[in-house]
Amino acid sequence: MPIAPYVPLTPDKTCNILDAGGGQGQFSLPLAAAGHSLTLCDLSQKMLSKAKIRAAQLGAEGVRYIHSPIQSLPETVHYDVILCHAVMEWVVDPQALLQCLWHKIQPGGYVSIIFYNHHALVYKNLLRANYKKVIAADYRASRGSLTPINPIEPEQVLGWADSLGAELLCHSGIRVFHDYILDPQSRQQAPDQVIELELSYSRRPPFRDLGRYVHLLLRKPMVED
């Protein structure tokens, strides 16, 4: 899927933003504090309560909080920007979720998705000599683990996006090497250099494709006359 040229929203435009499954609003509340209109939707009332506290700290006013599944949001409301970060890997049918988001975005609008990378999970287990798990392809999380129920292959999501007619603006890996450093002490070294190198390699295959998470920025084409 070729990467299309990025056309940013103009700085003076106030965007109508949906943070789908946004939790505490770590990504979206700074946008609301900058003056954009934000709807934050999440299944957890506890997370929404924490988001309200953080919004007050940031001075983010007028945020609309919705305690609801993403799929139950009104189909008549459309957004300029949709964020769906670290959500797809927790649902049974991530393709249907992407389709749902696509129906809620304005033509010319942007969808930002971040998801847990299946390839990274396989590679992590190979490095830790968990060969039986890899051979059995059994990556079920242990009790209390934060490993999601449905890690996704990036090629799948790119195919789903392509079938929707999405324009791919950016394809990045997140934490492409840091999480593979086995020695805990070494992982704490030179944080500034880690960030610099992570950014440097985040869009360069094959490093990009081994990131713990994958980020795709998609644009919905404008409707032609």
The pLDDT of residue 225: 39
Residue 154 has pLDDT above 80, yes or no: yes
H helices of the chain, where?
29-33, 45-58, 94-103, 118-127, 131-136, 154-163, 184-187, 191-201
Average pLDDT over residues 48-58: 95
Residue 1 has pLDDT above 80, yes or no: no
191-217: pLDDT as tens digits: 999 999 999 999 999 999 999 999 999
Please give the structure tokens belonging to residue 41: 């939707």
The pLDDT of residue 142: 66
What distance in Å separates the CA atoms of residue 96 and residue 98, rounded to the nearest whole number? 5
Percent of the chain at pLDDT above 90?
80
Query: Comparing C-alpha atoms, which of 188, 223, 150, 217 is closest to residue 1?
Result: 217
Q: Which of 3-12, 50-59, 129-138, 216-225 has the lowest mean pLDDT?
A: 3-12
What distance in Å separates the CA atoms of residue 33 and residue 56, rounded to the nearest whole number? 9
The pLDDT of residue 148: 87
Q: Which of 69-78, 162-171, 210-219 has the lowest mean pLDDT?
A: 69-78
Residue 125 has pLDDT above 80, yes or no: yes
Residue 84 β-bridge partners: 113
Residue 9 has pLDDT above 90, yes or no: no
The pLDDT of residue 153: 96
Residue 8 has pLDDT above 60, yes or no: no
Query: Comparing C-alpha atoms, which of 9, 11, 14, 20 is closest to residue 32?
Result: 14
CA distances from 135 to 95, 118, 130 (A): 26, 14, 9
18 confidence band (pLDDT: 50, 70, 90): very high
Percent of the chain at pLDDT above 70?
92
Mean residue pLDDT across the chain: 91
CA distances from 103 to 72, 81, 97, 164 (A): 12, 12, 10, 10
Residue 4 in contact with residue 161, Cβ under 8 Å?
no
**Structure-model confidence comparison of residues 17 and 182, the more confident one:** 17
